[in-house]
């Protein structure tokens, strides 16, 4: 008897939930309902055509990140096969934010979309911007002891100013230990 009562309560509860007691269901005209516009990929169009949508920014940052990994491995082959640690990942993402900001500042969205599948154009654009970020903003500091520049000159960030010798630049053992605690020798580790 108790089992039957529980089944009746369940079925009546389900019936009232589906019917929606006291709620009037009304028909809507699709023309009067304001619905978001969608792109071919199923994403809603929120920004104007001349603005950088988040999806394009995300895809571009991802492509830059992969390119940065390849670039680092070309210049540091001993890191091959090692997963980047959290600090390395952070430095690479910060570097790609810099590259992305430089690209967005220079390229209109229309110009970028027209050339996004031109691998030579995009490769050159990103390499120039990557070199500018490393030189101007010192991105990827633990990966590059000397900073490559687009005009084939190298800038040594540890250059000794006029009037000083390399010997006068030596630090006490305490200072060396403080700096070495900040970043490990190889931050491309798991």
d(CA 109, CA 111): 5
Q: State how far the alpha carbon of 60 is from the alpha carbons of 15, 103, 164, 176, in Å.
A: 50, 10, 44, 38
> Could you tell me if 140 and 187 are in contact, meaning their C-beta atoms sit under 8 angstroms apart?
no
Residue 100 in any domain: the answer is: yes
Instruction: Work out the average pLDDT over 113-117.
Output: 90
Residue with tokens 């096969």: 81
Lowest mean pLDDT among 16-20, 84-88, 173-177, 182-186: 173-177
Which uninterrupted H or E stretch holds 73?
A: helix 54-75
pLDDT at residue number 143: 86
DSSP state at residue 69: H
Residue 64 in any domain: the answer is: yes
Q: Name every residue whose Cβ is closer than 8 Å to that of residue 158 and which is 6 or more positions away in sequence.
A: 145
Residue 85 in any domain: the answer is: yes
pLDDT reading at 172 higher than 50: no
Residue 3 in any domain: the answer is: no
pLDDT digits (tens, 9 = 90+) for 49-78: 788 888 889 999 999 999 999 999 998 899
Of the two residues 174 and 126, the one the predictor is more confident about is: 126
Residue with tokens 């309902």: 33
pLDDT digits (tens, 9 = 90+) for 127-162: 999 999 999 999 999 887 665 555 555 544 444 445
Residue 60 in any domain: the answer is: yes
Answer left, alpha or beta for residue 20, where phi above 0 means left and psi between -120 and 50 means alpha. left
Among residues 140, 55, 151, the alpha carbon closest in space to that of 99 is found at: 140
pLDDT reading at 36 higher than 70: no
Q: What is the number of structural domains in the chain?
A: 1
Show the domain range for 138. Answer: 54-155
Helices 119-137 and 54-75, axial angle in degrees (round to 10): 70
Of the two residues 173 and 93, the one the predictor is more confident about is: 93
Burial class (CB in 10 A: 0-12, 13-18, 19+), 123: exposed
Distance of CA 40 to the CA centre of its chain: 23
Residue 41 in any domain: the answer is: no
d(CA 72, CA 67): 9
């Amino acid at each position: 008897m108790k089992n039957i009562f529980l089944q009746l309560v369940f079925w009546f509860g389900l019936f009232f939930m589906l019917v929606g007691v006291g709620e009037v269901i009304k028909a809507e005209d699709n023309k009067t309902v304001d619905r978001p516009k969608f792109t071919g990929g199923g994403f809603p169009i929120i920004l104007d055509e001349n603005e950088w949508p988040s999806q394009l920014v995300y895809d571009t940052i991802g492509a830059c990140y992969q390119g940065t990994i390849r670039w680092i491995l070309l210049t540091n082959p001993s890191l091959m096969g090692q997963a980047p640690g959290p600090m390395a990942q952070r430095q690479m993402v910060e570097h790609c934010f810099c590259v992305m900001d430089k690209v967005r500042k220079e390229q209109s969205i229309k110009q970028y979309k027209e050339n996004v599948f031109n691998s030579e154009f995009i490769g050159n654009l990103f390499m120039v911007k990557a070199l500018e970020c490393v030189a101007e903003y010192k991105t990827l500091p633990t990966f590059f002891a000397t900073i490559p520049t687009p005009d084939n000159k190298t800038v040594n960030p540890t250059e000794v100013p006029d009037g000083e010798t390399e010997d006068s630049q030596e630090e006490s053992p305490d200072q060396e230990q403080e700096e070495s605690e900040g970043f490990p020798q190889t931050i491309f580790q798991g």
